[in-house]
Structure 1
Amino acid sequence: MPENSLFSLAGKRALVTGASRGIGLTLARGLAEYGAEIVLNGRDPGRLEDARVALEKDGLKAVTAPFDVTDQNAVIEGVEAIERDVGPIDILINNAGIQRRAPLDQFKRADWDALISTNLNAVFFVGQAVARHMIPRGRGKIVNICSVQSELARPGIAPYTATKGAVKNLTKGMATDWARHGLQINGLAPGYFATEMNKALVEDKAFTEWLCKRTPAARWGQTEELIGAAVFLSSDASSFVNGHVLMVDGGITASL
């Protein structure tokens, strides 16, 4: 890719949270293929190292930064260490997330708290810690991973839907506060993708049949189909895009 390409990430450094597997690892690989140096974050150092080795085998540059994104002090220390020992963070992919399913009237407080902590608090903690370094430099890209559930709900996942709706509006709030400093903060909202988190749904024949009928594209998404949107939001191509949530959902939010 020419270095002057609008979509080139050459010379950029991207921190990807929740990057040891699934969408996080796919996006890390995709950004690396467009030239970015990747910092892989997650809680499990062993899984992160496996991910780093897998990228390295394909000639892609990555380092690991294990810390708990739900612990604000750990986040601040982790980001400071990256900035000091690795280099400036130019791009943040705020991807770490979990799912819990249960009827709303039976939903456990512990599961509610876990969803809020991982899906919402962590987005604020990491976004704020990274932005504190980006703002003095006058540039930076933050991509918060939202969801089709930022707009829609389904039975059994109301608390998850609440967190992803909040991430959508937090994204808009970040852009409102930080765009004046040269940052672009946007959301990337996957629809239904065949991931480890969705394994039970993928294997549920009735659900898959419903999804294929409900989605205009008539299929599950593949995680590699998120790379183009992530590269766009991480590159100079989106230099005047701020507070936007880009749906990558096969048309499910466009159709009744």
Structure 2
Amino acid sequence: MTRGWAVVTGAGNGIGAVISRHAVKEGYRVAAWDVDAAGLEALAADLGPACVPTVVDVADEGSVAAAVAALPEAPSLLVNNAGIARFGPLLTIAAADWRAAVDVNLTGTFLVGRAVAARMIEAGGGAIVNMASINGIAAAPNAGAYTASKAGIVKLTEHMALEWSGHGVRVNCVAPGLINAGMSDAIYADEEVRRLRQARVPQGRLGTAEDVADAVLFLGSPKAGYISGQTLAVDGGITKTALASMPRPKSVDSVGVDEGAAAREGG
């Protein structure tokens, strides 16, 4: 079944490349956008004629406008995946590094989202999936602008959904957790860090690029037709573990049971 065109930004490697592969398997033709020409060339060689690679700087409005104008038709799906990290303490991170992360992650999502949405609206609708992070849900230290930019994407998603859902464009967001792929490769190359991190995930494992791609393709599909303005954390449950690490005396674990028993007995 042909699903039309899907635009995937940051498609040249990592999670973006996996999303592109999944989209082709689902029947999309993929407009793969990235600043990494070599990565795009490798992806296109892998996916064949179903993938049309284009070098696009998502932070440059002119580059985005030219790429959108070159699309043969309005895409039915946009995946705003392009992102960078410039980590460092807030007290010392260079303003240029802060701006670079905000420009690509947040402004890039806005520029591409707005330009593609305009074509979708003309064609009668479509679906947009923005890529945030659990860093945009719970702040991480020494993350530079990454946390702020990803939190901005969560709210930008809600804003886009409010303005565009009435025009037939659904907008949702995926927030990956501890994913053993993409920009996290360097983190999980350290086996001890990998062991400690995956031990904190309730499901007992790190996530994969495939986990993220499955969530993205679901939100972009008709199966999610009544979902808009939402952020889906693909994190194995780790964002819900704040109380799991808190000290707790075993003696209190039976208090609720005793009170319930007393209530049933009329005590």
Fold shared per TM-score above 0.5: yes
1:229 is the counterpart of 2:207: no
SS in structure 1 at match of 2:180: coil
Partner Cα distance (1:229, 1:38) in 2: 17
Does the Cα contact within 8 Å between 2:74 and 2:123 map onto a contact in 1? no
- 1:138 is matched with 124
Alpha-carbon deviations, 1:98-149, whole Å to 9, x = none?
1111122111111101101110000000000001111122211100011111
Instruction: Look up the equivalent residue of 1:13 and give its one-letter code.
Output: W
- Correspondence list, 1:112-127, <5 A: 112-127=98-113
In 2, Cα distance between equivalents of 1:40 and 1:196: 16
Q: 1:43 aligned to 2:29?
A: no
Q: Secondary structure at the match of 1:88?
A: coil
Q: How does 1:166-205 map to 2 (within 5 A)?
A: 166-205=152-191
| Secondary structure of 1:186 counterpart | strand
Instruction: Give the deviation of 1:68 after TM superposition.
Output: 0.9
Instruction: Name which one, 1 or 2, has greater alpha-carbon Rg.
Output: 2
> Offset of 1:87 from its aligned partner?
2.4
Q: Distance in 1 between matches of 2:73 and 2:214?
A: 25
TM norm structure 2: 0.87
CA drift of 1:72 comes to 0.7
| Identical columns (%) | 36
- Counterparts of residues 1-256 of structure 1 (less than 5 Å): 3=1, 10-56=2-48, 61-82=50-71, 86-256=72-242
Whole-Å separation in 1 of the counterparts to 2:145 and 2:193: 20
Q: CA separation of 1:196/1:143 partners in 2, compared to 1, >3 Å: closer, same or farther? A: closer
CA distance in 1 between partners of 2:45 and 2:90 (Å): 41
Contact kept? 1:211, 1:218, Cα under 8 Å: no
Q: CA RMSD in A?
A: 1.4
Higher relative contact order (CA 8 A, sep 6+): 1
Whole-Å Cα distance in 1 between the matches of residues 75 and 122 of structure 2? 12
* Pairs aligned (count): 242
Q: CA deviation at 1:199?
A: 2.1
Tell me, what secondary structure is at the counterpart of 1:201? helix
Distance 1:137 1:34 in 2: 21
What letter is aligned with 1:238?
A
Match of 2:149, as an amino acid?
Answer: T
- After superposing on structure 2, the runs of 4+ consecutive aligned residues of structure 1 that deviate more than 4 Å are none
* Cα distance change of structure 1 residues 218 and 232 upon mapping to structure 2, 3 Å threshold: same
3-state SS of paired residue (1:134): helix
Deviation at 1:244, TM superposition (A): 0.6
Cross-structure match for 1:6: none
Q: Which moved more, 1:202-211 or 1:36-45?
A: 202-211
Q: 1:81 and 1:201, CA in 2 relative to 1: closer, same or farther beyond 3 A?
A: same
> What secondary structure does 2:7 align onto?
strand
Tell me how far apart the structure 2 counterparts of residues 228 and 165 of structure 1 sit (CA, whole Å): 22
User: Which segments of 5 or more consecutive residues in structure 1 lack a partner in the other structure?
Assistant: 4-9
TM-score by length of 1: 0.91
Pairwise CA distance, 1:246 = 0.9
